[in-house]
Structures are given as structure tokens and as C-alpha cells.
Structure 1
Amino acid sequence: DLNQHIDNEKCTKIRKQIRLKRTKIKKYKKQINDYSQRKHKYEVQKSILKDRNSYSKTDHDATFMRMKEDHMKNGQLKPGYNLQIATNSQFVLFYNVYQNPTDTRTMIPFLNTIQETYGHLPEYIVADAGYGSEANYMAIIDNFNRTPLITYGMFIKDKTKKYKSDIFNTQNW
């Protein structure tokens, strides 16, 4: 409509004003289109992300994690999975792969999966300090009615003489 109006107009000043108006409209139209595309892109990303903090563009199921074999020592994040293994006398009884980067948040879903698969759990749940958290202890005791044999993260440090005598630790007051 504006194009026809420009073509029909004889006065150059009026044509210039109409062109300016057309330019503004095109600019806003382009901006709205750009925002619409971005909104769609963000919605797709949010649906892939679900309840995680990150995901890999090449492997949507992977979550970014700090790997132990970081040769550059720069804390680089790489896409990965958290493999959990249940063993007895060095035999693997069960395994599962999770998107959670920490063992602490993975323990309860792992125990639930074992219980659903086998119908029961062992009397004692043994794990390293990476699984030690109040939430995990309480869930094992209250929800699973089992005994946790899991040290907490500061267990070894708490036992040292230097730590016990440090006046800046609130536990020593």
C-alpha cells in the first residue's frame, strides 16, 4: 500500500516522508520477526533442558560437568554422564546412567531404581564421601529403612588435631 502511494506521489518531499515511514515499519517488522524466531528457539532449548542446568548442543541428553582428567587444570566443563554402579564382593549387580553431575543428588534416584528392579535393598548402604549429605542419610533411614554407612565430606579433616584445635571453626567454640 505504501509502495503504491510512493509511486503515485509527485512531490519529492512527501515521497521522502512516506519512504521514512515505510523504513520504520520494515524495521519494526524485522524486529518482531527476529524476536519471534528467538522465542521459538528459547522454547525449544527450554524443552530440551527440562530440570537441568545445562545441556550439550551435540548430545542433548548429556549435561556439562567438570571432569577429573582436566590436564590443563582450568576447570573446563565437558558434556558427560554420571555412571552409578552397585557392587557386592567386587561383582557389579546393577548400574545406571544419570544426567546429574554430582553423586549426592544421584543416590536417592539410584536406590529407588534398584528397589524397583529387584524389590529390595541390602541392609547396609555403603558409599564414599561423595554421597554424604543429610538428605541422603535421612532418605536411607526414613524412606528405605536401611542403615547408611556413608562418611560425610569433611570426615577425614574433622579427625585431624590441627582442625580440632583451630579456634576459627565454629564446632570448636
Structure 2
Amino acid sequence: MEHKTSSYRTFGYFINEILKPSVEELFSDINKKYLPSSIVDLSHLYKLLPAYNVQFGVAGEYIVVADVNHYRSDMDCFVPLIEQFHKIYGFYPKYLVADAGYGSYNNYIYCEQKGMEKYMKFPMFKKESTDKKYRDDPFRTVNFKIDEDGISTIINSIA
């Protein structure tokens, strides 16, 4: 299958020329540091040691920003990706859509501070919105009763 569009060439260039060498270097460094060949030679297994997270920001059908970093969680990759976008384009996106993997209090605050309208679910959105037993569980701290002094308590009859 031939891909002649400029967006494919740009993306292919990014993956093959920019990203690949740095990822291979990263794995090589990990192997040298944590798995010295004097102990055991596991260089053929470097793909089993993920130590990077690749993020892409898309506008329409085009990749507008990409970032590679060492965080395991998408939640932690959010701010560096948006800062990379800002560095390239000089502004923050007005509308930001992201899945629940990015939803965290810190990311919500960050969006508010930068004037971005966010469309991110929080990590337990589906469970809390569809699982009535989980949502109404009296032992979840959000369901603790708060007395007139503002102290949250578990009802004695339940405990």
C-alpha cells in the first residue's frame, strides 16, 4: 500500500528518523544500567522493559503534537504534551478532549489555569455511573455521613 500524502510522510519521518533512535537509545541505556552483561545478557529482551510513553495530540485528522517521556501513566503525560503544543504553536488549545486515562484533579486544575475547556472523564466514571452497588456503597468515603460539626462518620448500624 503506497502512502503519498504529506501527513503520512511527516508521520513516517517522525517515527523512523526522530523517535526510533531515541527509543532504542533509551532501552540500550536501561539494559546497560540495570542488566549489566557481566551478570546476565538480556539485550535481546529489551522490548520487555517499557520505560517510555508516546503521546500524540490530534486536531481533525492530523497529528499536531507528539511527545515521548518516561512516565508510566497517561495522567502524568498530559501536562508535558500540552506544554509541547504550547511551545510549538504559541497558544494553548481552546477545547481539549481526552479519555479517562488523563483525568485527574491536577490535570483539571491545569486546564482551568490555562483557560482550556476540558472534556475529560474522571478515571472511575463508568463504574460510578453504571454500578449502583459501587456508587451507593456506604463504606466509600464519599458516602460517609457528615454530622452537624462537619465530621464524617460511618453509621454504627452498618459498621
What range is the shorter-chain TM-score in?
0.5 to 0.7
TM-score by length of 2: 0.57
- Cα distance in structure 2, aligned partners of 1:90 and 1:145: 24
Cα deviation 1:69-90 (Å, max 9, x = unaligned) = xxxxxxxx61332111011233
Q: Does 1:140 align with 2:100?
A: no
Report the secondary structure of 2:49's partner residue.
strand
Structure with larger Rg: 1
- Cα distance in structure 2, aligned partners of 1:57 and 1:92: 25
Distance change (3 Å), C-alpha of 1:167 and 1:102: same
- Cα distance in structure 2, aligned partners of 1:149 and 1:101: 22
Instruction: For 1:169, give the aligned amino acid.
Output: R
Question: Kindly, what percent of the aligned residue pairs are identical?
Answer: 32
Cα deviation 1:36-64 (Å, max 9, x = unaligned) = xxxxxxxxxxxxxxxxxxxx772359xx9
Report the secondary structure of 1:168's partner residue.
coil
Q: 1:168 aligns with which of 139, 148, 152?
A: 139
Residue 129 of structure 1 deviates from its aligned partner by 1.0
Instruction: For 1:100, give the aligned amino acid.
Output: Y
Q: Does 1:106 align with 2:77?
A: yes
Aligned residues: 103
Instruction: For 1:170, give the aligned amino acid.
Output: T
Paired residue for 2:119? Answer: 149
Distance change (3 Å), C-alpha of 1:83 and 1:154: same
Q: Give 1:42-53 correspondences, 5 Å limit.
A: none
| Consecutive unaligned residues in structure 1, runs of 5 or more | 1-55, 65-76
Cα deviation 1:18-37 (Å, max 9, x = unaligned) = xxxxxxxxxxxxxxxxxxxx
Instruction: For 1:114, give the aligned amino acid.
Output: F
CA RMSD of aligned residues (A): 2.3
Report the secondary structure of 2:91's partner residue.
coil
**Runs of 4+ off more than 6 Å:** none
Q: 1:128 aligns with which of 99, 110, 114?
A: 99
